[in-house]
Structure 1
């Protein structure tokens, strides 16, 4: 083992056992003095992980930092400096082997202190985490693919809703309007004294009118035409007005989008999240007041929804992550956004959406 001399205060038997253990562990074990890059000892695992000889490292301790990936080097150099003042660090970084292979290591470094409380020895244990990083990258890529699939499915669903809404409005709506005109014509053709038939005709007209209203409501719920024709801000105002009329829940609205044009998937995501959040409030919160704010901050569209309802404890919030909020979170995440919820029993609930915008949109 290159005749390494261990510190005199460590008994010889301890030194032998320590070196024997270090020679058989998969991790790299190393020791140096604070402020002195020269290594007192580095275990054989260094040669397997770094692909370099220990003798070369003993001769030139600078090889250790030189082997760190250029993108990580300055960070690791600063971390080593902290051992003088703070006594250690734990970092993950990449190394470049002589054969060109890049590996990931996790280096846990700590200092032993002398009787005055100052660093005496700097000790490190470096673990090869390349396989773990590869698995993490595969998992990340898999999640991104799944997120993209969800995004496409949601958008395809919106396109289908739009088509169905237009067909209901254009085809069925026009047919009902024609039927309504004919019913009115029929009513006026009936004799005044035939009250029974006139009542039936009027009943038909009323039913047709109610059906037309139901079709308009269903069509707007499938895809509000205002979202495509007048934009997100007007669609939000329209939805809130209808929500207040339908539920009686008061809503204070603060929308500051100015001339910003938010279209397509982003506009749809914001509208659907708003729609789902308001639906949840009306069904579950026992709230009689909502505050809604929509604005742009630092190239992000921010939407905050607060209610004064019963609120939720931690367990209910966790359950909402599994059910009610999952779809909203997926909509936000699919576009690079984030959805957070805060709630306490008796203090209502706060939902906040942050959705990044393209530079030309935010400008």
Structure 2
């Protein structure tokens, strides 16, 4: 072998070693990026899970608080008035059987209201309800209290929803219902739940005074922001629309990951 050939061999070896080192560096950098990204994703998942659990806990607390307020209103405004009426009817009856029968009917109505109210008081009853049943119970209360005239239409075969997801969806609509009762001056509240093969589509609409939606959106009202953030947390699509003197609508579409019918 000549000196020139020897020099070429050394150069080729050096080039090979350099290329190998560069490849090792590239692989090392890529591996480092992969590990860092993996750790970031794990941290994001942990953060998302903690946020989800925190939102579940907050939603459950808010539902309980709203339920207690509802119970207080119903005891005072409905059952209390019925018992007071029954007392007056009894005192004024003077032994008249017809008036006593009216008092008995009033007391019977009060007892039926108490039985209905017991469902709200019993946490296990609420816990074991389906999403449809929970919404129906809320609308039944509005009808009993004569706040407005509610209606519920269910289309398709109901799909079971994870209890935690159902809690968040119910809280979104409970907040909408509460705003309707307090602020909208509506006389009707219509809810439609549509179950398809892979989605749950819920739309609530009142005929109230509505509001300037663009202005409320710009101000980022707490109620609207809460509904949107909760829907986003569970991967649901949500749309709130309203016009002055034309009512307000809430439309939510959720796609369960594991679908099975109730």
Measure the CA separation in 1 of the matches of 2:195 and 2:147.
29
Secondary structure in 1 aligned to 2:259?
A: helix
Name the residue aligned to 1:260: 159
Residue of structure 2 in register with 1:180 after alignment: none
TM-score for the superposition, normalised by structure 1: 0.42
- 1:71-86 matches, within 5 Å, as none
Distance in structure 2 (CA, Å) of the matches to 1:221 and 1:271: 17
Quote the residue 2:53 is aligned against. 152
Q: Distance in 1 between matches of 2:181 and 2:61?
A: 27
CA offsets per residue over residues 116-166 of structure 1, 9 Å max, x none? xxxxxxxxxxxxxxxxxx9xxx8x9988765533321132346678999xx
Give the match for residue 225 of structure 2: 326
If the length of structure 2 is used for normalisation, what is the TM-score? 0.56
Deviation at 1:361, TM superposition (A): 2.7
1:345/1:221 CA distance change after superposition, 3 Å: farther
Aligned match for 2:208, one of 285, 299, 309: 309
Correspondences of 1:1-363 after superposition (within 5 Å): 99=26, 147-157=48-58, 220=120, 223=123, 225-228=125-128, 230-256=129-155, 258-297=157-196, 299-313=198-212, 314-319=214-219, 321-361=220-260
Once the two structures are superposed, residues 60-109 of structure 1 have per-residue CA deviations (whole angstroms, 9 ceiling, x without a partner) of xxxxxxxxxxxxxxxxxxxxxxxxxxxxxxxxxxxxxx95778xxxxxxx
Distance 1:161 1:218 in 2: 19
Whichever structure has more helix as a proportion of its residues is 2
Match of 2:76 in 1: none
- Structure 1: give runs of 5+ residues left out of the alignment: 1-97, 103-133, 165-208
Cα RMSD (Å): 4.2
Query: Structure 2: any 5+ residue segments left out of the alignment?
Result: 1-24, 31-35, 66-109
CA shift digits 1:231-290 (9 cap, x unpaired): 222222121111222242111211235352224112212221221110011111111111
Larger strand fraction of residues: 1
Secondary structure of the residue aligned to 2:260 is: helix
Secondary structure of 1:262's match? Answer: coil
Query: 2:63 & 2:242 partners in 1: Cα distance?
Result: 34
Residues 158 and 272 of structure 1: CA distance in aligned 2, closer, same or farther (over 3 Å): closer
C-alpha deviation, 1:292, in angstroms: 0.5
Q: Which has the higher contact order (CA 8 A, sep 6+)?
A: 2
Secondary structure of 1:277's aligned partner? helix
Structure 1 segments, 4+ long, off by >4 Å, are 98-102, 140-147, 157-164, 216-219, 221-224
